[in-house]
Structure 1
C-alpha cells in the first residue's frame, strides 16, 4: 500500500495590493515623523486638551475674531475678516516705504518657522493662503493695539475703556482682548515683531515699551477700567517681557503670575485687574523680589511646602465660618495670588469676576499645564483654592460680604457654578505655594477648642437679642446667688433681738 504524503504549504501568501499601499502610507508617515521629531518639540501654539475643554468649549473657542489657523475660515467668524483688510490698508499707509509686496515677502520668509510653531500641519492651507492669513492676522493684532494707544495720545491717563469707535472696528472692541487671550487663537509673536519693525513703528515708541503696553492693555481689559496712571509710571511697573515671547497668552501669563526667583508681581487693594492700576492704588503695585513674611503665602518660597496630601482638601466657606474661621479682604497684598492665613483669619485679595474673566482664567490655567507654564502651577492652585471655598451660592455670599469677591456674573449660583467647573481637567501638584495655607486652615477647622468656641459664639453671640438674653440670664444668676447667700447668712447668723 503506497504511502500518501500530504505536503502543506506553510508559506505566507503574497501581500495584497491594499496591504502594500497601507504599509507604504504608514512608512511615509513614520519617515515624516522622524524627520520632524526635533521640530515637533519646539511648537508653542496648540489646541486645548480635550480633558480641559470638555463641556466648556465656549471658554476656549473664539466667537468674534479668528487669529491663526486653528479656527481660520469658520463661518461664524467671518464678520471681522473685512476689518482685517482695512487694518492692513491702515498699516500700509503708515509710510511710503511700505508696500504689499514687501509685507508678503517678509511673511513668506517666516512661513516655515511659523508652521513649526503649531502642533498641527494644516495641509489644507497652501503657502499663499497661509501667508495671507499671517499678514492679515498680524496686522489686525498690531493695528488694534496701536490704535488704542494712539487714540489715547500715549498718556494712558484717560485711556478709554472702548477707545476704538464702532466705525474703526465695526464691533464693540470690548470683546476683542478676550478673543486675543484664547490659546487656540494665537499667532507667533515674532510675526507682530516683524511687522512692527518693517513699519518703523519704533520711531514713535520703543519696542520694549510697546510690548509692556500690550501686556498692560491685556491685563487692564480683563475687567472694567478705572482711573490710570501716567505712561512712565505704568512702564516702570510692568515686568520686563521674557527674552522670547511665544504669543499673547504667554506675555499675559508672564506679566500676571509671579516668579519667585525674579518676581515682578501685581499688588493692589483690589485685584479687578483694571482698577489695580488706579492712581490711588499704584503705590507698591509691583515688587522686584518676594520679601520674607511670617504668613503662609506666595511670598514664602514656592518650594517651602509640606507633603500632606490630606491637607489639600478643606471645607467650604460656610463650614469654615461655622467652625469659627473669619474671612477678610487683604489690605496690602503683594500680588494677585497672595493668600495668607493668620490667627484664624483667612485673608484674600479682592477679585472681580465677570464674563470676560471666565475665558481668561480657563486659558491661563490651560497654558500653565503646558511645558511653558511655571512649575507647580501657581495660578491653577489659586483658582483651585477658590473652588474649594465655594461649593454653594451661600459660600459666594460669605465672600461677597467680606469684600473678597465682586460678582458681575448675575447671581451667586452662576459664580459658584463657574468656579466648580473651570478647574475640571486641571491637575494641582501635591506641593505648591498654598500647601501651607491648606494645612493650617484644615488644622484650625479640626481643632476641638476652635469648634467649641465657634459653637459658643454661634449659640450665644450670633445676634444682639441672644447677647441681651445672655446678659439678662447672667444678671439673674448673680442676683439669685446674692439672694441665696443672704438667706444662708441670715439663717446661720440670725440677727439679735
Structure 2
C-alpha cells in the first residue's frame, strides 16, 4: 500500500468529527510550551528545585528532591491513616482522565499506568505537605525544625524556589489529584467538595493572602491565575487588612520610604564628587539618591557632544543625568531621515534593545538632538491614532495622574477624570517567570480562557518605556521594585510583551481609548504643565503669588500715573 492509499484510508475511517475534536481539546489543561515562546527565555519554563508531573520528571538537577517526596508521602499516610494501596486504587480509577489532562506524553507514561499513578501520588502528597507547613507559621507540624524542606530552614531557603516551580505551566499536576488526597486528609468523605478550601490554601501560600472564591480550577497555576484576575471587589475588608499586613514586611527603598512619610537626615552634609568615569559605578539612580539627602556635584562642568554615531552609547536617560548637573549639547547636527531609513529610526526610538537608545523621542529631544525627515512625514489615520502608545511620562505631561487601585486584581484598571488607577505590583526575581507562564497558559488553553493577563501585560508595556516611567509608577505606589534598578523593571515588562498579539477588543482597550481622548484636549496639558511648573513645592507657589502681586502693583501704578497725566491736562 502506497502513501496515497494510506491517506485515503485514513480519510475514510479515522477523520474525527468537529465535536470529537472539540471534546478532545477540552480535556487538555497542561501543555509543553512551544519553542516560539521558550526561545525568548528558556529558563522561565524550566523548574529549578523540583519536578511535578511527567514533563520534567527524572532530570538530573531535580533528582535530589525525589527522596523528600518520599518522606512527604510517609508523613501524609501516617497522618491521614490511609494505606498507599487504597490511595493508589482511588487514583487508578481516574488514570485515563489524569493522562488526558496532558497535551503530550512520553510512551513510558502511556504504557506504564502504575508508574504514572505513583508519580501523581508522590507529587500530590508533596504539594499538600508543602502547603500545610507554609500556609501558616502556627500550623502544628510533625517535621523537625531543621528539616531541609519542611522545617524553618527549608522555609527560609527552598520555599521561594518551590513556589516558583509550582507556577510553571509544564510543571503541573491535575487538581483532581489534590482533591482526592485532601479529602482523605480532612475527613475521608469523598462526597464532600473541598475545592474552595484547597484553593484558598494555595493562594494564601503563593500570594500571602486569600480573598473570595475562585471556583473549580484545573491546576495550581490556574488557581493563581483566577485569583489575580478576579473582578474587583471593594467590600473584602479582610483582604485589605492582610494586604496592609503584608506591606509592613516589605523592604522599601529610600524613595518609597519617603512617600510613606519617613524622612532621612544625614549626620552632616555630604557631597559626592562625581566624575564622568565614576558615574557608571553608582548603584542607584541620582533621582533616588537625591531623596536620601545626598547632593551631587560634578567635579567640573561636563558637556557631552552627542553626534549621530555616538547616539547608541547613551546608557542613561537625559532626565537622570541632568540630576547630576551634567549638561548635554548636540554637535549642531540633525538626523536626516530618508524614506528607507524611517523604519530603523522609529525602531531606534521606541524599543529598548541593548544597542539602541533606550529613551523615547521626547527624552532624546531634550538632549538637543532634532529629528527631521528628508521629504516625507508619518501620516497616522484617525483609526490608528487611537492605538498610539503613550508612556507614563507622556501621560503625566498630558495631565494624567496615577493612583493605586483598591485591589490587586489585574482587572482593576480604570481611568476616570484624568486619574489612571492600576493594581499594585511587587516586582522581584520571580515576576518574569510567573507572567510568562500565565501568558503561555492563556495562549495555549482553548476551553473558554480569555486573555486577561495578556491584555494587562500589553497595557503595562505601553506605558513603560524607560526607567523614568517606572519611577513615576513607584512614586504612585503602583510598583514595588525589588530588582536592581528601575531600568531592569522597564526591560522586564518590555520583554514580556514581545511577539504577543494585542487584543484590541479587550476591556483595557476602552481604558486606552479614554486616555487618548483625554490627551487630545490641549487645555488638560496646559493645566498639568502649570501645576508641575509652579505648584510642585511651596516655594514655587510663593514665587508665583509674588510675581502676580508685583504685576498687579505695576498695573495699578501705571493706571495711577496715566490718570494723573490726564488730570493735569
The two structures have a TM-score, normalised by structure 2, of: 0.64
Q: Is the 8 A contact 1:329 1:349 kept in 2?
A: yes
Q: Deviations over 1:390-428 (max 9, x none)?
A: 110111111111112111223211111111111234333
Is it true that 1:114 corresponds to 2:98 in the alignment? yes
Please point out which of 396, 413, 416 is paired with 1:342.
416
Q: Which has the larger radius of gyration?
A: 1
Output the CA distance in 2 between the equivalents of 1:444 and 1:145.
47
Q: What is the Cα deviation at residue 213 of structure 1?
A: 4.0
Is it true that 1:321 corresponds to 2:396 in the alignment? yes
Output the CA distance in 1 between the equivalents of 2:68 and 2:11.
39
Please point out which of 238, 248, 258 is paired with 2:212.
238
Is it true that 1:482 corresponds to 2:556 in the alignment? yes
Residue 352 of structure 1 aligns to a residue whose secondary structure is: strand
Output the CA distance in 1 between the equivalents of 2:65 and 2:246.
32
Q: Could you say which residue in structure 2 is the equivalent of 1:300? A: none
Output the CA distance in 2 between the equivalents of 1:148 and 1:373.
32
Is it true that 1:146 corresponds to 2:132 in the alignment? yes
Output the CA distance in 1 between the equivalents of 2:234 and 2:152.
34
Q: Could you say which residue in structure 2 is the equivalent of 1:68? A: 53
Output the CA distance in 1 between the equivalents of 2:156 and 2:540.
61
Q: Is the 8 A contact 2:53 2:119 kept in 1?
A: yes
Q: Is the 8 A contact 2:463 2:469 kept in 1?
A: yes
Q: Could you say which residue in structure 2 is the equivalent of 1:247? A: 219
Q: What is the Cα deviation at residue 264 of structure 1?
A: 7.1
Greater relative CO, 1 or 2 (CA 8 Å, sep 6+):
1
Q: Is the 8 A contact 1:352 1:406 kept in 2?
A: yes
Q: Could you say which residue in structure 2 is the equivalent of 1:428? A: 502
Q: Is the 8 A contact 1:239 1:264 kept in 2?
A: no
Please point out which of 448, 452, 461 is paired with 1:378.
452
Q: Deviations over 1:118-164 (max 9, x none)?
A: 1113114440432332222122123322344686348xxxxxxx994
Q: What is the Cα deviation at residue 447 of structure 1?
A: 1.6
The two structures have a TM-score, normalised by structure 1, of: 0.73
Q: Is the 8 A contact 1:212 1:238 kept in 2?
A: no
Q: Is the 8 A contact 1:393 1:413 kept in 2?
A: yes
Q: Is the 8 A contact 1:397 1:412 kept in 2?
A: yes
Q: Could you say which residue in structure 2 is the equivalent of 1:83? A: 68
Residue 394 of structure 1 aligns to a residue whose secondary structure is: helix
Task: Label 1:457 to 1:264 Cα distance change in 2 as closer, same or farther (>3 A).
Answer: closer
Q: Is the 8 A contact 2:26 2:446 kept in 1?
A: no
Task: Label 1:485 to 1:468 Cα distance change in 2 as closer, same or farther (>3 A).
Answer: same
Is it true that 1:165 corresponds to 2:151 in the alignment? yes
Aligned length: 424
Q: Is the 8 A contact 2:131 2:202 kept in 1?
A: no
Q: What is the Cα deviation at residue 460 of structure 1?
A: 4.2
Q: Is the 8 A contact 1:266 1:336 kept in 2?
A: no
Output the CA distance in 1 between the equivalents of 2:85 and 2:234.
43
Q: Deviations over 1:304-336 (max 9, x none)?
A: xxx966434431011111222212233x44945
Output the CA distance in 1 between the equivalents of 2:12 and 2:426.
50
Greater shift in the superposed pair: 33-42 or 419-428? 33-42
Q: Deviations over 1:68-88 (max 9, x none)?
A: 111111111112111011111
Task: Label 1:84 to 1:26 Cα distance change in 2 as closer, same or farther (>3 A).
Answer: farther
Q: Could you say which residue in structure 1 is the equivalent of 2:168? A: 182
Task: Label 1:309 to 1:413 Cα distance change in 2 as closer, same or farther (>3 A).
Answer: same
Give ranges in structure 1 of 5+ residues lacking alignment: 1-14, 155-161, 229-233, 281-306
Task: Label 1:409 to 1:167 Cα distance change in 2 as closer, same or farther (>3 A).
Answer: closer
Q: Could you say which residue in structure 2 is the equivalent of 1:294? A: none
Task: Label 1:80 to 1:308 Cα distance change in 2 as closer, same or farther (>3 A).
Answer: farther
Q: Could you say which residue in structure 2 is the equivalent of 1:195? A: 181
Q: Could you say which residue in structure 2 is the equivalent of 1:275? A: 243
1:10-89 → structure 2 map (5 Å cutoff): 39=24, 41-89=26-74
Q: Deviations over 1:421-460 (max 9, x none)?
A: 1123433322222222111111111222223333334444
Output the CA distance in 2 between the equivalents of 1:308 and 1:337.
25
Give ranges in structure 2 of 5+ residues lacking alignment: 141-147, 249-381
Please point out which of 108, 117, 141 is paired with 1:131.
117
Q: Is the 8 A contact 2:48 2:161 kept in 1?
A: no
Q: Could you say which residue in structure 2 is the equivalent of 1:493? A: 567
Task: Label 1:491 to 1:92 Cα distance change in 2 as closer, same or farther (>3 A).
Answer: closer
Output the CA distance in 1 between the equivalents of 2:84 and 2:560.
107
